[in-house]
Copies of this chain bind each other. A is one copy, B any other.
């Protein structure tokens, strides 16, 4: 499914110039604040201080901008989280670190996170869409492996790794709908509280 040697794929967002990145950031901000629907290409060009013609030079449509934000929003997630998982110690600590790092990443890229988590969209660029799906799967499977490791070590009860993994990701994914950085708790603190609740339910009694 995933092609190799895609370096000549000019649509690959890895190739984005700083101008394109700046336009994507501004768009993400507008989408997050007003919603996708209420944001026009005119709004984006005005906020970015560029002409509509230039905007259309870089992006085929508003949909294209949206798809690229959604794509980019998770691009560095895996590496960011992986770096923060301790190599040794109990599985519970690894999962806890996984959760806190995921929440931390999302809160650092909050506009893109909100924009990408809302509205339906299908990326017309199949290669990019395929990559994004593969990345999500890889991420979810990494979490399931950590859960499985804990079950095999006798640290957790004999739970279903897919269920537990979904529960963990749901708790963090849904945060984009209510989390407010201006409030008392950081995203990391909330993830840690969820980790306590969930991991306590997983552990062997």
Contacts and interface: CB of A to CB of B under 8 A. Distances in A.
Contacts of A177: 173
Contacts of A178: 166
A27 to B, nearest CB: 14
Contacts of A171: 166-167, 170-171
Copies in the complex: 2
Interface string A149-167: 0000000010110011011
Given A160-B193, A193-B160, A119 B198 contact: no
A35 interface: yes
Interface residues of A, number: 35
Nearest to A193: B163
A201 B205 contact: no
Contact of A118 (B34, B63, B118): B118
B174 A120 contact: no
Interface of A is mostly: helix
Nearest to A200: B201
Nearest to A179: B166
26 contacts: A36-B37, A36-B120, A37-B63, A37-B120, A37-B121, A38-B120, A118-B119, A118-B120, A163-B190, A163-B194, A164-B197, A167-B197, A170-B170, A170-B171, A170-B173, A170-B175, A173-B174, A173-B177, A197-B201, A197-B202, A198-B198, A198-B201, A200-B200, A200-B202, A201-B202, A205-B205
